[in-house]
Amino acid sequence: ELAALPLKGDADLLALDDALDQLSRMDERQGKIVEMKFFGGLSAPEISQVLGISRATVDRDWATARVWLHRQMSRTAEL
């Protein structure tokens, strides 16, 4: 679902890592959700169970984090 991010190479992966670090500092739960979903391949119900939060919270945080990361990655791509 993050496939829409403008990732074109190793430098972009580093930028994604930096953006994810920033996100995690701003909202630790959103950072964990992105890591579990994007890198761990967990589904929203699985993340909900692991974190002990509702599925709606996972979906809401995922949507927010995805938009934030997309904006950050787009800004990085412009530089």
Three-state SS for the chain is CHHHCCCCCHHHHHHHHHHHHHHHHHCHHHHHHHHHHHHCCCCHHHHHHHHCCCHHHHHHHHHHHHHHHHHHHHHHHHC
- Which pLDDT does position 65 carry in this prediction? 95
**Max Cα–Cα distance, the chain, nearest Å:** 39
R_g (Cα) of the chain, nearest Å: 12
pLDDT tens digits for range 14-72: 788 889 999 999 999 999 999 999 889 999 999 999 999 999 999 999 999 999 998 88
Residue 6 has pLDDT above 60, yes or no: no
pTM score, whole prediction: 0.82
Reply yes or no on whether the pLDDT at 7 is more than 80: no
